[in-house]
Chains A and B, each alone.
Chain A
Amino acid sequence: GESVGLHLPTLSVQEGDNSIINCAYSNSASDYFIWYKQESGKGPQFIIDIRSNMDKRQGQRVTVLLNKTVKHLSLQIAATQPGDSAVYFCAENSGYSTLTFGKGTMLLVSP
């Protein structure tokens, strides 16, 4: 599984590009996954979720893909904007509402 506590990897994109942020989760029994966006000095903000009986879910400008075979989750952001710059975390529900967070990815969007 992912190691919590390491420094964040960074994804740099140009405004208007599509962004793909990846996450590997650890618990094959997890049945609910969430992507969060965290801006500096603030708490995480819900973006989109997906249950294990689905492999894709779309929101406004965002799509989450779930591959249970390889325990992989991705977040796709279409037409990335400067306001999307933040740290993105995936989280898996490992039972009884307890969330386990991935290590996060910092997204930097250049105008």
Chain B
Amino acid sequence: GAVVSQHPSWVICKSGTSVKIECRSLDFQATTMFWYRQFPKQSLMLMATSNEGSKATYEQGVEKDKFLINHASLTLSTLTVTSAHPEDSSFYICSATSGVLTEAFFGQGTRLTVV
């Protein structure tokens, strides 16, 4: 299957700082990328959907000013957690798809720990 690379795989940051997570589709053009958040032993919760070249669509309850999403090209989307706090500590996962009703490919996930 297609490969989606997410970087970094884990990061520890101090409270109040910002962290950027990258999601790249390595062998296909991702028209749409998704960002999820997952707490331990829980399901994936969709945070936002981004289409290349347009603003991301955020799910209800997700602060767009806190979780900045940029999808500047068909192979790269970034999620920036701004002014991170310990409650932002979580597993963040991206996925990418090339069209409607096609399989979404997932990155390896990023474990964010805010101390």
Contact A7 B49 (CB under 8 A): no
Contact B49 A46 (CB under 8 A): no
- State whether A103 and B43 are in contact (beta carbons under 8 Å apart), knowing that A96-B100, A97-B100 are contacts in the complex: yes
- State whether A44 and B49 are in contact (beta carbons under 8 Å apart), knowing that A32-B101, A93-B101 are contacts in the complex: no
Range class of the B interface residue count: 20 to 34
Distance of A44 Cα from B38 Cα, bound (Å)? 11
- Chain B: which residue is nearest A99 at the CB level? B104
Residues of B within 8 Å of A31, CB to CB, are 101
Task: Tell me if A11 counts as interface (CB < 8 A to partner B).
Answer: no
Distance of A102 Cα from B101 Cα, bound (Å)? 18
Interface residues of A in 67-100 (CB under 8 A from B): 89, 93, 96-100
Task: Tell me if A45 counts as interface (CB < 8 A to partner B).
Answer: yes
Contact A43 B6 (CB under 8 A): yes
State how many angstroms separate the Cβ of B108 from the closest Cβ of chain A: 5
Distance of A34 Cα from B93 Cα, bound (Å)? 17
